[in-house]
Amino acid sequence: MLHGRSGVTDAIAVVERQLIEVSQHGERRLPLVAAKRAAAHPADLAAWLAGEVDPDRTLALARALMALDRKAWAQHPLPPAPVSRKEAGNEGVYYYPDDAWLVIRLALLPWSLPDGRVIGADPVIFRRLANGDATTAVDLALRHLRVAGIRTAVRTVALPPGTARLWAAALAFPIHKGTAKYFLRRLDSTENQETTQ
């Protein structure tokens, strides 16, 4: 699955394999779930999506980390400290992935939303993105979110095919449920109102 020729291609292959395996059991979800305290941080995902991270080196490191004993990690996790970024001149402010990518990430969750709503991952969303067609991928993801009652200001996106593939590869890095909840509140203003009432 990880051939080491291209980090982006390897990450896309990981996601594709997971989607195929879960579909053989009749499920519609992206089953990539992070080990305890090993979920991707939004700032790191934003750096990946912005092209600030070397995909080849990242996936080479991932191959090495796969050799770790999962049980030992669960007992004594050593998560890296999240990277803080400068945003509008403020030290220590994290920045987040593009809202259009958040739409795709939420449409391809491995579990239901915190309130129990199930979006149901459509593998076509991922495959369109992996083939360089971000516009169709976001349109499909938006439809799935609308069916689940999620309203967002995102309407469409236009990206070069290489960037769309980078976005697809980012789905190989699982997020925490709390991160998904934050992404949902960021995208849908009605979620903010419901949590403050």
pLDDT in tens, 172-184: 999 999 899 999 9
Q: Is the pLDDT of residue 3 over 60?
A: no
**Mean pLDDT value across residues 123-130:** 95
Give the span between the Cα atoms of 84 and 34, in whole angstroms: 21
pLDDT at 27: 78
* 61: confidence class by pLDDT, cuts 50, 70, 90: confident
Q: Is 90 a residue whose pLDDT tops 50?
A: no
Could you state, in order of their start, the residue ranges of all structural domains in the chain?
7-63+87-188
Structure tokens at 29: 């979800």
Q: What is the 3-state secondary structure (H, E, C) of the chain?
A: CCCCCCHHHHHHHHHHHHHHHHHCCCCCCCCCCCCCCCCCCHHHHHHHHCCCCCHHHHHHHHHHHCCCCHHHHHHCCCCCCCCCEEECCEEEECCCCCHHHHHHHHHCCCCCCCCCCCCCCCHHHHHHHHCCCHHHHHHHHHHHHHHCCCCCCCCCCCCCHHHHHHHHHHCCCCCCHHHHHHHHHHHCHHHHHHHHC
* The pLDDT value given to residue 94: 54
Question: What pLDDT is stored for residue 97 in this prediction?
Answer: 93
- Structural contact between residues 43 and 84, judged by C-beta atoms closer than 8 angstroms: yes
Confidence of residue 84 (pLDDT cuts 50, 70, 90): very low
151 Cα distance to chain centroid: 19
What the block records as the tokens of 100 is 């259009």
Q: Residue 50 corresponds to which tokens in the numbers above?
A: 């912005």
pLDDT at 48 over 70: yes
Average pLDDT, the chain: 82
CA dist 135 and 129 (Å) reads 8
Residue 142: what pLDDT?
96
Q: Residue 174 — φ and ψ, nearest 5°?
A: -70, 150
Q: What is the pLDDT of residue 67?
A: 57
CA distance 180 to 197: 20
C-alpha dist (Å) from residue 158 to 25, 87, 163: 34, 24, 10
Across 63-77, 81-95, 120-134, least confident range: 81-95
Q: Is the dihedral of CA 57, 133, 101, 123 positive or negative?
A: negative
